[in-house]
Structure 1
Amino acid sequence: MPNISTVRLRSRSLRPRSPIDESLGESHGTVLDEGASSVARPPQISSLVRSASSTTSNASATNSVTADTSVLPTVPSSDHPSASAASSQSDNERNQPSAVIAQIEEIFEAVIVAVEQGTQLSLPLPAVIRILEIAHEALLTGKLVTKRNIFYQDKQLFRDQRTVDALVDNIALTLGVGRHALNIAAAGKGLVAGPISLTLDDDGSILPCDDATLIPTPDRLRHVEWSRAQWILVIEKEGKGYPDLCTRRFLFSLHQSRPYIPVYGLVDYDPYGIRILRNYQRGSANLQHERDCTVSTIHWLGIRLADIRSYHVGIQEDIADSTSQTQASTHPHSSQGQDSQIPDTLPSQPSSRTRSAVSRQSAFEANTASLSNRDRKVALETLRSLPANENDEDGHYLGELQVMLMLNVKAEIQAVDNLGDITTWLDSKLCME
């Protein structure tokens, strides 16, 4: 690896999901469409109470209820009379366990009233109540539960992990708090390695990170002991989509403890890679209620087309040189006029330099690919999301996305490794920053 000391982060990504619909009046069907490749957009908890829908899931009728939209409490909107009071409440106050417990108990009381009145609810209410019950218990006992653990506590009720994921995020959004305020966290997926050690809050144990170590949830992190790290490198692999919240919050914690240490991102050269970087910088559209999970100063280290094409330019020069040499050898007296003797046939074997150039050209083509229709759609969506008053980083995103679309090319991080030595490339890139 490079000689410079580093903290490396590598995280598996979550598959992209549709943003949570923040409209209280829009109606949706079931939370999860098992026949689709993505999760259907869930309505807010405040809109679960509505007239009966003819569309229900395969669950039994007891899992579907319907009632008036006024039954459950809602988060005040900007035009609500109490909106100013709600907006003046600090995030810290709203995220206090006692405040969250009170909100959950208000929902319980409202649901009891709805049941006593014999009304029905349209979304799988038992799943919502079960998650609220687990969160309530976790807050009372001070324990942390994972979304995976919630799913396995009642697999028959939830039927799919994605149902739990969607409802947990939706409950947090409706209550106006972050997921961590419910004492619910995603199972760790990211890895950290470098000259740091982590002190955990639960038992005070120290977690060295000399080798790849599973990132703990930020709620368990008490202290980060820094050694000689000079920068933080985020490496995004193992899938396409948004990085998980645990990794993003951990990166935020590292940056907060050492804000003067630069943060770099190394991602694939494709529209998803740029979207991932922007997710670290600005957060995801469907988790805007989450706090302390963005690092706006993260810098795009690579890979870019120039990192691959710089080798490709050398190939073209080799081919041009080899072509001119071949012409000179096959037409040695071309400058002496038409009487010069020209060989009847060209050499049967290309020169070693030509073979090397063709081999390197083949290597470039083997390590790049064409954009899929989905890639192009993501690129166009990202272009539309870039601000009009773009900064230097957004300008780089804009230019690279346009080049991707025009040249119809993408590549993974391994393309740099396969075409050369990624450690040498990485060392030189970091030294240039």
Structure 2
Amino acid sequence: MTSDWVISRMEAIFEDQVDAMERCEDDGKLAICMRIRPRNSVVPAPFQGEHDAEPASGEASVRMRTIRFPGKSTPEAWKYTVITRILELIHEALISGVAITKRDIYYRQPDLFVTQSVVDRCVDDLAFTFGVPRSLLNVSAAAKGLVLGNFTIVRADGAAMNGLSEKEGVLVPNIVPTDTLNLRSVEFVLVVEKEATFRTLASSNLKDSGILLTAKGYPDIATRSFLRTISTTNSTLPLFALVDFDPDGLAILSTYTHGSASLAHENAALSVPSIQWLGIKSQDVSALEGVHARQGLLKLTKRDRGLAQRMLGNEVFGEGGLEGEWRNELLVMLMLGVKAEIQILEAREGGVVEWVKKRLGLV
């Protein structure tokens, strides 16, 4: 599937709207059909390579919705106008061969879009409707994640980026096929859930022999894409993840590893199944000693329990599913009724830095 295919699909939509206006009949109202994208992105789904095939709009499992103009209400008319305008801007970018970001789209007409989240959601909805990764829409991801480490990226024009150029990390870069990623001095990659922990580890010498990466919580596409590029550039490079001992931590780990339901059409190009779970796990919590350390334990909230229960019914975490250890850890959380953040490791001698070094076999 190519950008030309996407352009033709968009132009077919535009032609349908023109035909409807020319008919001027009751059944000729302007309308755009959209596939309904799953919204539950925190319950992961294993990737199936959906974006490699054309969208099967006739399948019974695909839910559709029709957005009309003028529609039954003002919000529906506004929604139609937003989608049409975003389609126009993406079509323009594809024809001109210029990549744009979601933020670029928003600032082209902020009075119409109202908030950035409206643009973000609609762009992903359109990619899902067409059954293509967002890159085929020429919409690039604006990074929120940080990376630090002993790697270099050489662009086609000769410009180079050093992963050690900023001591507190740089925004996750966008790597294109013409770039060269040099990982010769990298011995491991560590994905960290929390920015605070990332900064603590950044102050150590771990960055000199590895790569530290954080998306500051649930991963964005730019961070997932960068990690995927690392894994495909050097398939033998060990990748590890350090997340909280709670349902969100495991959901974040699974998003990196297997992908998310809300972006299922992009999972095959973003997932990294080779990530190893470094911690923290129930064994790390049980090994804590002293009153101060155990005071760092938190009770599971009602939301935590609800999320854990939903995850246990998912293909990844289900009985006999893809990740038996993850399922067992979720069950332990529910049984004990506790969770723990990465920061609890600071109660140990040497803190999180020494803990990570020991787990990685660096001491």
Pairwise TM-score range, normalised by the shorter structure = 0.7 to 0.9
**Selected match of 2:89 from 131, 134, 150:** 134
The answer as to whether partners of 1:268 and 1:303 remain within 8 angstroms in 2 is yes
Alignment correspondent of 2:280? 303
How far residue 131 of structure 1 moved from its aligned partner, in angstroms, is: 0.9
RMSD: 2.1
Which of these two proteins has the greater Rg computed from alpha carbons?
A: 1
Percent identity over paired residues: 37
Question: What is the DSSP-based 3-state SS (H/G/I as helix, E as strand, rest coil) of the residue aligned with 2:153?
Answer: strand
Question: What is the DSSP-based 3-state SS (H/G/I as helix, E as strand, rest coil) of the residue aligned with 1:424?
Answer: helix
Residue 200 in structure 1 maps to residue 162 in structure 2? no
Rounded to whole Å, the distance in 1 between the matches of 2:101 and 2:95 is 16
**Paired amino acid for 1:208:** N
How far residue 240 of structure 1 moved from its aligned partner, in angstroms, is: 7.9
Map 1:181-196; keep pairs closer than 5 Å: 181-196=136-151
**Paired amino acid for 2:231:** H
Q: Deviations over 1:11-54 (max 9, x none)?
A: xxxxxxxxxxxxxxxxxxxxxxxxxxxxxxxxxxxxxxxxxxxx
How far residue 407 of structure 1 moved from its aligned partner, in angstroms, is: 1.2
Question: What is the DSSP-based 3-state SS (H/G/I as helix, E as strand, rest coil) of the residue aligned with 2:142?
Answer: coil
Alignment correspondent of 1:235? 192
Residue 158 in structure 1 maps to residue 135 in structure 2? no
Residue 285 in structure 1 maps to residue 261 in structure 2? yes
Rounded to whole Å, the distance in 1 between the matches of 2:154 and 2:12 is 37
Q: Deviations over 1:134-180 (max 9, x none)?
A: 11121122221111221122111111222111111111111121111
TM-score, with structure 1 as normaliser: 0.63
Question: What is the DSSP-based 3-state SS (H/G/I as helix, E as strand, rest coil) of the residue aligned with 2:143?
Answer: coil
Question: What is the DSSP-based 3-state SS (H/G/I as helix, E as strand, rest coil) of the residue aligned with 1:404?
Answer: helix
How far residue 390 of structure 1 moved from its aligned partner, in angstroms, is: 3.3
Map 1:2-401; keep pairs closer than 5 Å: 94=1, 96-118=2-24, 119-120=29-30, 121=68, 122=71, 123=76, 124-201=79-156, 203-210=157-164, 211=166, 212-219=169-176, 222-238=179-195, 242-290=218-266, 291-312=268-289, 360-365=290-295, 367-385=296-314, 386-391=317-322, 394-401=323-330
Rounded to whole Å, the distance in 2 between the matches of 1:111 and 1:376 is 47
Question: What is the DSSP-based 3-state SS (H/G/I as helix, E as strand, rest coil) of the residue aligned with 1:297?
Answer: coil
The answer as to whether partners of 1:262 and 1:298 remain within 8 angstroms in 2 is yes
The answer as to whether partners of 1:200 and 1:206 remain within 8 angstroms in 2 is yes
**Paired amino acid for 1:132:** L
TM-score, with structure 2 as normaliser: 0.75
Rounded to whole Å, the distance in 2 between the matches of 1:218 and 1:115 is 43
How far residue 303 of structure 1 moved from its aligned partner, in angstroms, is: 1.0
Q: Deviations over 1:278-298 (max 9, x none)?
A: 111111001111141001111
How far residue 125 of structure 1 moved from its aligned partner, in angstroms, is: 1.5
Q: Deviations over 1:75-122 (max 9, x none)?
A: xxxxxxxxxxxxxxxxxxx1x222211111111111112233341414
How far residue 217 of structure 1 moved from its aligned partner, in angstroms, is: 2.3
The answer as to whether partners of 1:151 and 1:158 remain within 8 angstroms in 2 is yes
Rounded to whole Å, the distance in 1 between the matches of 2:307 and 2:357 is 31
How far residue 241 of structure 1 moved from its aligned partner, in angstroms, is: 6.0
Rounded to whole Å, the distance in 1 between the matches of 2:98 and 2:232 is 25
Question: What is the DSSP-based 3-state SS (H/G/I as helix, E as strand, rest coil) of the residue aligned with 2:185?
Answer: coil
The answer as to whether partners of 2:144 and 2:216 remain within 8 angstroms in 1 is no
Rounded to whole Å, the distance in 1 between the matches of 2:129 and 2:119 is 15
Q: Deviations over 1:388-423 (max 9, x none)?
A: 4335xx121111111111111111111112443111
Question: What is the DSSP-based 3-state SS (H/G/I as helix, E as strand, rest coil) of the residue aligned with 1:249?
Answer: helix
Question: What is the DSSP-based 3-state SS (H/G/I as helix, E as strand, rest coil) of the residue aligned with 1:192?
Answer: strand
**Paired amino acid for 1:301:** L
Rounded to whole Å, the distance in 2 between the matches of 1:159 and 1:197 is 39
Q: Structure 1 residues 430 and 138 mapped into 2: Cα distance closer, same or farther (>3 Å)? A: same
Rounded to whole Å, the distance in 2 between the matches of 1:148 and 1:168 is 11
**Paired amino acid for 2:185:** R
Question: What is the DSSP-based 3-state SS (H/G/I as helix, E as strand, rest coil) of the residue aligned with 2:161?
Answer: strand
Unmatched segments (≥5 aa) in structure 2: 31-67, 196-214
Unmatched segments (≥5 aa) in structure 1: 1-93, 313-359
Question: What is the DSSP-based 3-state SS (H/G/I as helix, E as strand, rest coil) of the residue aligned with 1:289?
Answer: helix
Rounded to whole Å, the distance in 1 between the matches of 2:362 and 2:183 is 24
Question: What is the DSSP-based 3-state SS (H/G/I as helix, E as strand, rest coil) of the residue aligned with 1:107?
Answer: helix
Rounded to whole Å, the distance in 2 between the matches of 1:141 and 1:200 is 22
Q: Structure 1 residues 381 and 432 mapped into 2: Cα distance closer, same or farther (>3 Å)? A: farther
The answer as to whether partners of 2:175 and 2:226 remain within 8 angstroms in 1 is yes
Rounded to whole Å, the distance in 1 between the matches of 2:98 and 2:154 is 18
**Paired amino acid for 1:431:** G
Q: Structure 1 residues 266 and 207 mapped into 2: Cα distance closer, same or farther (>3 Å)? A: same
Rounded to whole Å, the distance in 1 between the matches of 2:249 and 2:177 is 29
How many residues are treated as equivalent by the alignment?
288
The answer as to whether partners of 1:197 and 1:208 remain within 8 angstroms in 2 is yes
The answer as to whether partners of 2:318 and 2:327 remain within 8 angstroms in 1 is no
Rounded to whole Å, the distance in 2 between the matches of 1:240 and 1:377 is 23
Question: What is the DSSP-based 3-state SS (H/G/I as helix, E as strand, rest coil) of the residue aligned with 1:111?
Answer: helix
How far residue 432 of structure 1 moved from its aligned partner, in angstroms, is: 8.6
Alignment correspondent of 2:359? 429
Question: What is the DSSP-based 3-state SS (H/G/I as helix, E as strand, rest coil) of the residue aligned with 2:180?
Answer: strand
Map 1:411-422; keep pairs closer than 5 Å: 411-420=340-349, 421-422=351-352
How far residue 309 of structure 1 moved from its aligned partner, in angstroms, is: 2.3
How far residue 362 of structure 1 moved from its aligned partner, in angstroms, is: 3.0
